[in-house]
Structure 1
Amino acid sequence: MVVEMITKEDLQQFRQQLLSDIKEIIAAPKTNNESAWLRSAEARQILKVSAGTLQNLRISGQLKPNKIGGTYYYNRGEIMDLLAGSGTSKRRKL
C-alpha cells in the first residue's frame, strides 16, 4: 500500500484551483435565457392566440397573471399547463 503525504502547499494549491473554478462558473453566461415570467406578447406567441383571447383567458381565471406597473406577467409554467390541457393553476405572489 502506497501512502502519499499531503502538504500545506498542496492544500493551498487545491484551494486556489477550486476558487478559480468556482469564479469561472459564476462568471460564465447562462445558457438558459428562458424567463419564468412572460409579458403578454410572449404569452400570446406561445399560446398562438390574439390579445382578446388572452384577455378572456385572464378574465375567466384560466391564466392568473401578476400585474406590475400596468404590465401583465404570465407564469411560463401556467401557460405550459394550459397548453397541456390542465387549465387552471395556482397563482404565485411576488
Structure 2
Amino acid sequence: MAAEVITTDDLREFKLELLEDFKKLLAEQKGIPTKKWLRSEEVKKLLNISPGTLQNLRVNGTLPFTKMGGVLYYDSQDIHSILEQNKIS
C-alpha cells in the first residue's frame, strides 16, 4: 500500500473548506437562508407573515419577485436589503 503525503497547503485548504461548511451550518440555524432564490412558503416562514401580507408586498412593489411556470421566487438578498433599509435605530 502506497503512503500519501499530506502537505501544510493541503491542511490549510482543508481548514478553509471546513470553516466555510461551518459558516453555512450556522447561518442555516440562525434562519438566514443560504439559497439565492426562495419560494413563497420559505419567505412567509422566514418573515413570519401571512399569504395576504406577502401578496401585498408584491402588489405594492415593496418586494421584487420572479415568476416562472406559476411559481413565485424571491431573491434572498432583496429580502435582506429591504429589511436593512427599513431598520429603525
Normalised to the residue count of structure 2, the TM-score between the two structures is 0.58
Q: Aligned letter for 2:68?
A: I
The 1-side partners of 2:56 and 2:67 are apart by 16
User: In structure 1, what is the equivalent of residue 83 of structure 2?
Assistant: 83
Match runs of 1:1-94 below 5 Å: 32=24, 34-84=34-84, 85=86
What is the number of residues matched between the two proteins?
A: 71
Larger radius of gyration: 1
Q: Sequence identity, in percent?
A: 38
Q: Secondary structure at the match of 2:74?
A: strand
Query: How many angstroms does 1:47 deviate by?
Result: 1.3
The 1-side partners of 2:82 and 2:46 are apart by 11
Query: How many angstroms does 1:82 deviate by?
Result: 2.0
Q: Runs ≥4 in structure 1, deviation > 3 angstroms?
A: 30-33
Q: Residues 37-65 of structure 1: CA distance to partner in whole angstroms, max 9, x if unpaired?
A: 00001111111110000000000000110
User: In structure 2, what is the equivalent of residue 8 of structure 1?
Assistant: none
| CA-atom RMSD in angstroms | 2.9
Unaligned 5+ segments in structure 1 are: 1-16, 25-29, 87-94
Q: Secondary structure at the match of 1:61?
A: coil
Q: Residues 24-49 of structure 1: CA distance to partner in whole angstroms, max 9, x if unpaired?
A: 9xxxxx66471100000111111111
